[in-house]
Copies of this chain bind each other. A is one copy, B any other.
């Protein structure tokens, strides 16, 4: 089974913690063990897994990505959001997680974040669960 989660972003760049929403899909599946596949159906957004304890980490990730791939750098695409496309490619559309005892298997400090690079927008995150 799979579901489409609705995500609303409020800023140009935003990393939104969606760990709880994804876990709810796992819980609804009633599957004790399996896989959880995340997929972002957008070309200027992505999904990432990183620290959910100190919000400065997310601010630093945004700043580090901006340093490597600046929004203002003379691109050709007329919509003016080329850096968002590049960041989307670098961070990626996929994450794949294990399910054990009906819970996502995550490291102690890990959360799942929807990464917006061209917001604010209405977005979706696709979540598919398969049993072992």
Point out residues on A near B: beta carbons under 8 Å.
Answer: 2, 35, 37, 39-43, 48-51, 54, 56-57, 59-61, 63-65, 67-69, 73, 75-79, 82-83, 85-86, 88-98, 100, 105-110, 126, 128, 130, 132
Contacts and interface: CB of A to CB of B under 8 A. Distances in A.
A108 B108 CA distance: 36
A94 to B, nearest CB: 5
Instruction: State the copy count for this chain.
Output: 3
Contact of A37 (B68, B96, B128): B96
**Chain A contact residues, majority secondary structure:** mixed
A130 to B, nearest CB: 6
25 contacts: A35-B37, A37-B96, A42-B109, A42-B110, A43-B49, A43-B109, A43-B110, A49-B89, A49-B93, A50-B88, A50-B89, A54-B79, A57-B82, A60-B77, A60-B82, A61-B86, A61-B89, A63-B75, A64-B73, A64-B82, A64-B83, A94-B95, A94-B96, A98-B128, A105-B126
